Structure 1
């Protein structure tokens, strides 16, 4: 593997995803605890939803054949929701409410605003058609149909759908167990005073938040000293506990970059140096058969490479259907200089009117400027070998799409 060779991002992603087996561990959780989890098997509809024809409005259930213009109908019954109705008496109407079951003999519901009510009689003041304002049995879900497919991510709407079918527990993929190693003698945890040459450990907390939002379980978190042996021991310990190890720092070409060196010495390094900006010194390999994703050390580069490279890997391991994010095509509200051999992910923000949106970039794209990501609401992509001009159409990935 040449130190000067850069792997194109698409090739690197394919290499990494080819080595991302879907988790075999599953568990069953209650629907209230299923938010954000990944469905481990497809679910069929156990019974029709709704289970019977019901009213879509508050009004009066009638039989279309009983209606004669200008002739009132007597109200023979009242049908609240949750009650099994008696059949509709011929030539009459039944007071009915939204969600109430349609009585046998009725084939339409007239909205209460469309009738004149006097002395338990109604006079219909609008046209009526058979089936109006009736929600048919099974119109949402029919028994035996596919309700949710394996690999679906459970959102609030899926939780509601599960509840509508009477399902209280669901099989989900077990959470991916991840270990985080941040490397560097200069790192100090927040809350302690900084000494000469020290900085606060930004990446540890960025990664913890990213992994929590990605639905992973953090099982080991350590700040590793800049020695070959400390790095080797930390990687070995993490490999015993985790399904995936994520490191920050230690993957470049410096004498103190021990993560890459340890993986290379053990024969576990399979990918290094990507044609991506920021994040060129990214490494992928394994320690004692546990995958290792070595991210750069600069804070903004950690965020970008996690979103672009680590998230697709995690989604694949989780068994998700949607491995890669979906971007928007928008006009660029900024320009670039010389074209690069690397694909650039620019911290950017969508602005302008809904009719004329554009993407603007944070002025300082240094890989050490994490405040740029707090200002931004997504990443704009400048393809390789491309010089960008104002108004050119580019791809924009909102953070919500990258991390959902």
Structure 2
């Protein structure tokens, strides 16, 4: 055995994920201002404390009238004027009207609103199609009949007080924020977004913007994984590279463990002589090395790291996932293992990635007992998706990521994946142009709702 090498346990991808998730729970609930609740998961049911609208109000600019006055052409005396945010002090009595703006409360005595364009100021030759004047006319003439309730939005017609609006586990989007504000909620109980520490290790790594030396490469993994963290709903703590130095890695890790809810590393965990992440993780917590039956992404380290003794939460462990160092392998392994872990921490119940069934446009290779995750592009044929491999199928070939719509899952038993057969494709949201590409290429196709991740 090489110095520093670790004994790996061989598992399937599903078994590896189960090992990671078995002790991972949603983060503790917090009270958030609704301005900051976007993309969080609700930790409570939300019921309406009031009606919406909370009072009868006008659906348009016009005049509040009594429908009984308008059985035929009629002149009405304008006795008042009310706009949104105010209440008319006058009452609509027989033969009178009150000018009213959209959203204003319906005055006493009125049972309908006639829109401004269907009225005419008495003595005027033209209709009132121009802008409303600041001062209402003294009287108006109306030629048309009107039914009770016309242009009135009734209290509670949208939302009734006491009705269930949102349920625990629901994600907060802009619509949820709008409704929460409309019913008067300033705060809401949610599961916080987890803080994810991302570290890339290797003496060969250089931050983008600096000059490359001999044998060096840019730190693409730190930035790629940071972007994937954001897509999964986590808050990125860092994405910098750390050299292959045990003291430096230990110091950086201790700093991150103060606040991180999950630590994700790339490189340095495969058990090689210079792979220090696995060595440090084994010293600082309970970590095991896995050999996952998948391609790419076979080496994986998982477990728990101890928080520093000075940390306020020192008694709590932090889940750890050590991904492979090759760029594509790291992104594939992130999708399979880190993404579901982040969703679990966020309190999301459904951890499964969206999938579609596609027909293989070529023969896909098998790799013994390992499941192959092949980058593919998808095209809608009018009846089914067609899957074609993209780019070089090497774990370091980054260019293939730009045109990959998904990962075709090719079983490791030698069955399936032949040209013309149906295959399962796990959709990924890696490219910024992915969504528009799929929308335009497959507009109107039945699985569209599955594809919009």
Q: Report TM bin, short chain.
A: 0.7 to 0.9
How much does 1:247 deviate? 0.6
Please state if 1:18 is matched with 2:37: no
2:392 maps to: 364
In 1, Cα distance between the equivalents of 2:398 and 2:338?
Answer: 18
Bigger Cα displacement from structure 2, 342-351 vs 306-315: 342-351
- Alpha-carbon deviations, 1:24-56, whole Å to 9, x = none? 263533x33333344444443332222112233
Name the residue aligned to 1:223: 241
Give the distance between the partners of 2:19 and 2:158, measured in 1 at CA: 41
Tell me the equivalent position of 2:74. 72
- 1:273 is paired with a residue whose SS is strand
Over 3 Å counting, the alpha-carbon distance change for 1:50 and 1:332 in structure 2 is farther
- Aligned pairs for 1:208-287 (under 5 A) are 208-219=226-237, 223-226=241-244, 235=253, 238-263=256-281, 268-270=286-288, 272-287=290-305
1:193 is the counterpart of 2:196: no
- What's the offset of the Cα at 1:153? 3.2
Equivalence for 2:364? 337
Question: C-alpha distance in 1, partners of 2:284/2:50?
Answer: 56
Please give the alpha-carbon distance, in whole angstroms, between the structure 2 residues aligned to 1:396 and 1:117: 63
Asked if the contact 1:182/1:248 (under 8 Å) is kept, the reply is yes
> Aligned in 2, Cα 1:149/1:390: closer, same or farther, shift over 3 Å?
same
8 Å Cα contact 1:75-1:95 kept in structure 2: no
Mean CA deviation greater in 224-233 or 360-369: 224-233
Measure, in 1, the Cα distance between the counterparts of 2:151 and 2:44. 36
Q: What are structure 2's unaligned runs of at least 5 residues?
A: 1-5, 123-139, 307-316, 430-434, 436-449
Computing the radius of gyration from Cα coordinates, the structure with the larger value is 2
Alignment deviations for residues 198-224 of structure 1 (CA, whole Å, 9 cap, x no partner): 111111122233334545444455533
In 1, Cα distance between the equivalents of 2:16 and 2:285? 18
Counterpart for residue 294 of structure 1: 322
2:337 aligns to what SS in structure 1? helix
Q: Which residue of 1 aligns with 2:334?
A: 306
1:183 positional shift: 1.5
Aligned pair partner of 2:406 in 379, 384, 390: 379
- CA drift of 1:227 comes to 5.7
Specify the SS of the correspondent of 2:10: coil
Q: After alignment, is 300-309 or 336-345 more displaced?
A: 336-345
| Preserved CA contact (<8 Å) 1:333 1:361 | no
Partner of residue 6, structure 1? 11
**Partners of 2:21 and 2:341 within 8 A in 1:** yes
**Equivalents in 1 of 2:271, 2:284: separation in Å?**
17
Specify the SS of the correspondent of 1:250. Answer: coil
What is the distance in 2 between the residues matched to 1:307 and 1:202?
17
| Residues 46 and 350 of structure 1: CA distance in aligned 2, closer, same or farther (over 3 Å) | farther
- Kindly state the Cα deviation for residue 293 of structure 1 after the two structures are TM-superposed: 0.8
**1:4–1:269 distance in 2 versus 1, CA, 3 Å:** closer
Deviations 1:251-273 (A, max 9, x none): 33533333335545777235623
Aligned to 1:269, what secondary structure does the other structure show?
A: strand
Structure 2 residue aligned with 1:33: 36
Contact 2:406 2:428 in 1 (8 A): yes
CA RMSD of aligned residues (A): 3.8
What's the TM-score once normalised by structure 2's chain length? 0.72
Structure 1 residue 295, shift from structure 2 partner: 1.2
The alignment's TM-score, normalised by the length of structure 1, stands at 0.80
- Displacement, 1:294? 1.0
Q: How many residues align?
A: 396
Q: Does 1:318 align with 2:346?
A: yes
Question: CA offset at residue 241 of structure 1?
Answer: 4.3
Of the candidates 154, 157, 162, which is equivalent to residue 144 of structure 1? 162
